[in-house]
Amino acid sequence: MPSTALWQACPVAPSHSLILFDLDGTLVDPAGAITGGIRAALVAHGFERPDDETLQSMVGPSLLASLTSVVGVPPDRVLDVMSTYRAGYVSTGMAQSRPYPGMAACVRALAAEGAVVAVATQKPEWLAEELLRAQGLLGLFASVHGSPRDESSTVSGKEPIIRAALDAHPGAAGNAVMVGDRRHDVEGAVANGIPCIGVAWGFAADGELDDAGAAIVVRSADELLEVLRGGL
């Protein structure tokens, strides 16, 4: 059964006209492409190899923020590391990624039932679109919202990205929900006055989503669809 901590404090409405999905860890399983790519880029530039736990914690937030704050890459070298990582990700990483079981069908069902479905990710917007296209998912979404192409000006946190998605669909924004796998998804949603459904199959540490204030945490695409339809 899904976790129901904070359900009463931040309830999910019986149905939603705008459903925002995080990308990596929520819709798509990077299958090691992100963590392995970050490790390879760091090693290529002479930095120490991070352990698996550190690398897992870097999936979700902006890469620039993770490289500087989590592994301590100096500001004057971070764009070089990012460039090496992006080159590898575009050439091989996107092909390694796979949609999580049932998520494409979940999105299709929601769209068929009249919901506006969109993506809100801290991945650069152009790269998010390329990943969705490579996975055959881009056509499912009404819009895709992410970080700027110039990653040296990456936005801080998920709040402005979610706000941009809400602004893009003003007719549906009054009844919106975020779906994500990390605490910044929850925090960005709450900052914009909407609930967040957490998914347990992503990269959150134990208890992270509940502690951040997720309305509910689900453990499968079927549970997610049921919650979004108001069945729980």
Q: Describe the chain by its helix, strand, coil percentages, rounded to 5.
A: 45, 15, 40
Task: Give CA separation, 165 vs 40, 140, 162, 187, 197, in Å.
Answer: 33, 15, 5, 15, 17
Task: Give CA separation, 220 vs 13, 75, 217, in Å.
Answer: 19, 39, 10
Identity of the amino acid at 113: E
- Name the phi and psi angles at 12, rounded to 5: -90, 130
> How far apart, in whole angstroms, are the C-alpha atoms of residue 186 and residue 25?
14
> How far apart, in whole angstroms, are the C-alpha atoms of residue 189 and residue 158?
8
> How far apart, in whole angstroms, are the C-alpha atoms of residue 209 and residue 70?
20
Q: Is 22 designated active site?
A: yes
User: Of the listed 22, 24, 29, 181, which one is catalytic?
Assistant: 22
| 212, two tokens | 């951040």
Reference 92, options 156, 157, 33; nearest CA is 33
> Kind of pairing, strands 116-124 and 196-199?
unpaired
Q: How many CA atoms lie within 13 A of 136 on its CB side?
A: 6
Residues catalogued as catalytic: 22
